[in-house]
Amino acid sequence: MLRTRRNAKICWIRSLFSFTLQRLYIPEPFLVSGAIVGEDLPGRTTIGCNNIIGHHAVIGVKCQDMKYKPGDECFLDIGDNNDIREYTSIHRSSKSSERTVIGDNNLIMGSCHIAHDCKVGNNNIFANNTLFAGHVVVEDYTHTAGAIVVHQFCHIGSFSFIGGGSVVSQDVPRYMMVSGERAELRGLNLEGLRRCGFSAEEIKSMRKAYQKIFIPKDAKLGGIEDRLKELEHNEELSSFPVIRSMVQSIRDSFDETRRGICKFRHWSGS
């Protein structure tokens, strides 16, 4: 195993390995002993510092999009301090105007797949066999359990949790938990929120807001937009930044270019 060091910034790439240097940028020095990194395609794969790329991972290769035109430039940008485990595949973008992006400090466990044009933020944990189709957006501090599938163009909000075996075909709003063969909202990601340092007061306010949106006492209150507006006019709850963020996350999901949010199912844990 070869290792060189400069300013304590190292990339580890574990065997079996091959890479095309003309199409790959890694800040020197880096440790090479594994995986398939890069492909002789127009464009570039860029990998930051202190990343670990596991055995037989496939990083920065051609996308699996039928709209891809051979000869088009395609890109993958990976930040710093990511742990990308064995048999994971991460594909480049489908066209030159797009990029597949992985942020910093993500744990991507074995056999995950991140397809073309996905945008992944920071500090996420993806358990084994987490599969993201093309154009999925994942914000920060999300957590997936194993064997989950996310449909193209879905948005996964910050501090959310996806239960094992779920098929996600619509957006997951911030701070929430979904699960099920067809993923449904099951409440707030309470354990995740506590672990991430949210205060008891913030969590209490989020529980109140969640109930007002999805379990209103007044059945005549109207649709979800009416409930969001009511929350915005609630001085007690709207004073919390997390509530404003929750409302915005839900509202954005109903934009005409988006897929709406996962359906709600009442669960005592909310």
Verify whether residue 197 is a known catalytic residue. no
In whole angstroms, what is the distance from residue 54 CA to residue 51 CA?
10
- The answer to whether residues 80 and 104 touch, using CB atoms and an 8 Å cutoff, is yes
In whole angstroms, what is the distance from residue 39 CA to residue 23 CA?
7
Q: Which residue has the tokens 């190292």?
A: 10
- The answer to whether residues 130 and 142 touch, using CB atoms and an 8 Å cutoff, is no
Catalytic residue among 117, 135, 140, 187: 117
Catalytic residue among 56, 91, 116, 155: 116
- The answer to whether residues 59 and 44 touch, using CB atoms and an 8 Å cutoff, is no
Task: Give the closest residue to 70 by CA, choosing from 58, 62, 78.
Answer: 62
Catalytic residue among 38, 103, 110, 134: 134
Verify whether residue 134 is a known catalytic residue. yes
Classify the phi-psi angles of 12: left when phi > 0, otherwise alpha if psi is within -120 to 50, otherwise beta.
Answer: beta
Verify whether residue 113 is a known catalytic residue. no
List the catalytic residues.
116-117, 134
